[in-house]
Amino acid sequence: MDRINDTSVVKQQYAASNNLNIRISIHDKYSTNKVGFGNWIISNYKIDKGAKVLEIGCGSGDMWKNRESLISNCSKLVLSDFSESMLMTAKDNIGKYDNIEYRVLDIQDIPYENEAFDVVIANMMLYHVTDINKGLVEVRRVLRRG
């Protein structure tokens, strides 16, 4: 097993938001993408009004920070991470909304019913998954067909 998807190493790296914040800062400073990665990703999300959205590995919640119009499009938005500390940081960064649920979960065992979500986002985290096939099978299971 590589260190990049060794569960104990990954949990240590994301026990708090410091390491992630450093990575984001480096990307912001040295990226040649003038739009900014977060803005580019958000501009490519297809989230229709009333959508049920699950983000796996939301980290510090930067993709949703100050994005009230995108949040309000979601009838339900589940922001998840395997690190409780990262979820606490996401809550601090995003705030409280009636349609947001913060949840600790592992992509390899998603605790929702089949076809529960219209959109599933797993941005910049799949390389940490121990059994990628199991994780993607779970994503497909909870993603609404069609």
Q: What is the pLDDT of residues 39-52, one digit of tens each?
A: 787 888 889 999 99
Q: Which two tokens stand for residue 48?
A: 């229709």
Domain with 94 in it: 3-142
pLDDT single digits (tens) 76-115: 999 999 999 999 999 999 999 999 999 999 999 999 999 9
pLDDT single digits (tens) 52-85: 999 999 999 988 999 999 999 999 999 999 999 9
For the stretch 31-67, what's the b/e string if a residue is b when 16 or more beta carbons lie within 10 angstroms of its beta carbon?
Answer: eeeeeebbeeeeeeeebeeebbbbbbbbbbbbbbeeb
- Report the CATH number that the domain containing residue 84 is assigned in CATH: 3.40.50.150
Radius of gyration, alpha carbons of the chain: 15
Residue 109: which of 130, 85, 90 has the closest Cα? 130
What's the whole-model pTM score?
Answer: 0.79
> How many structural domains compose the chain?
1
